[in-house]
Structure 1
């Protein structure tokens, strides 16, 4: 991303987001932290839910002093409930829920254990359900709200040795659509973001360890590069804003053209 583009996106303001109460799951690092920073930059009050206690502490140092951090799992309904209760107490509720927490599960299907399969379901799919349900109960009482789910381009197109990931992320995409049409008359919009390969610290580690071929990924991507966490965050913020007030039930790709490209 050029310096000019970075400045342009940083200068985009959504006045309606000022003071909005935002939960970001998996917010201690990577995409989650980038989205938390982006919402905080819009004047939102931000809460994070993540299993990584040390990561949460570091993330909170990069956010405004009123940001909340709760250590827990989206797969645990009790942890989710305690997080929303903390937001109720500190912020008086929630306006935007960003369901970002998820895990990768890259393994040949014949080696995929039932335990690993269940973990992917619990975090990637059931976690989105827990958080969406808890958020919607509060949003319905308020008469409005926005939920943004993190799906994936691999919930739209398939890839080998990623069965659990592809299946759960496609589930997130369909959950997004089902919730959007069910809750539309409650004033709640539900959309999903489907990122492609994004330059996170984890991806950079995999590239350095020769477990990912960045040159091959760039070649396969029509725009010729990996995405940035800021580009994903920009989309999430837009979808949460009133500029997207007629957008619901959509799975919006931010993948550099990967899923549109039919050639290997």
Structure 2
């Protein structure tokens, strides 16, 4: 299955034995129409969570919802079409989800964009777009979720950073800077909101097989063979591997983990030899 959990892993999750505490939790996922966002939706649906999915691509979101309902007929799925850079639309989406489900337990702040451009060619428009989606959008959604979570006295927020928010790479000035900002925002919120019962962590993936990566390969901006050879584990990541990390961090198994950017990169950032 493309961009999904393996059949065996999905079957184990569906048994509800690993992350039983996630059943009936309300999980809000941004950028949920494809890739890692959709993989996370499937993983949480397998654990019988209730889903709120947000994406700016209405047709992609419709397909995602249809596929989830086909695979998990009992799943409760609420869809919101909005871009994370529109603060008013974000607040409206969270209000609608809270009205529908009565609470928001988990935010998977997944929506983001790549920006792979030589720095001397990086325009102000490119820079502002990366910051608007990757930083402002994460902040708007975290703040909206935090308001509801603080009222109920509990919640988990997982922001999507990147290994390139923790280590640098050429021709990614805007991307690295934006993802580093997400990692630092995560720490600030974890410190500030921990006393309110809210845990905030970041997930920092390495190279994962998604449509975004496919587009960069097709554009000649990424060498797939070189990447796999450079990764100590010898391959790229799969969306379901990031999804299962999200399950763990959202669950009671991670109840004392707060304020961290958890890296899942196959050893890339540990390997300093070029």
TM range (shorter): over 0.9
Deviation per CA, 1:145-182: give whole Å up to 9, x if none.
Answer: 00001100000111111111000000000011110011
Work out whether 1:91 is the aligned partner of 2:96. Answer: no
- 2:63 corresponds in structure 1 to 58
Distance 1:18 1:3, change over 3 A: closer
| Structure 1 Cα separation of the partners of residues 77 and 7 of structure 2 | 28
> What RMSD in Å do the two structures reach over aligned CA positions?
1.9
Q: C-alpha displacement at 1:102, in angstroms? A: 0.4
Q: C-alpha displacement at 1:263, in angstroms? A: 0.6
- Residue ranges of structure 1 left out of the alignment (5+ in a row): none
- 1:77 corresponds in structure 2 to 87
TM-score normalised over the length of structure 2: 0.91
Work out whether 1:19 is the aligned partner of 2:18. Answer: no
- The SS at the match of 2:270 is coil
Match of 1:143 among 153, 157, 178: 153
Q: C-alpha displacement at 1:208, in angstroms? A: 5.3
| Displaced runs of 4 or more, over 3 A | 1-12, 204-211
- 1:189 corresponds in structure 2 to 199
Deviation per CA, 1:196-236: give whole Å up to 9, x if none.
Answer: 00011332354456543221111100000000000000001
- 2:72 corresponds in structure 1 to none
TM-score normalised over the length of structure 1: 0.94
| Structure 2 Cα separation of the partners of residues 89 and 56 of structure 1 | 20
CA contact (8 A) 1:84 1:93 kept: no
- Residue ranges of structure 2 left out of the alignment (5+ in a row): 70-74
Q: C-alpha displacement at 1:93, in angstroms? A: 2.0
CA contact (8 A) 1:97 1:132 kept: yes
Bigger shift: residues 1-10 or 226-235: 1-10
CA contact (8 A) 1:21 1:46 kept: yes
Q: C-alpha displacement at 1:116, in angstroms? A: 1.6
Aligned pairs, number: 264
- The SS at the match of 1:23 is strand
CA contact (8 A) 1:99 1:150 kept: yes
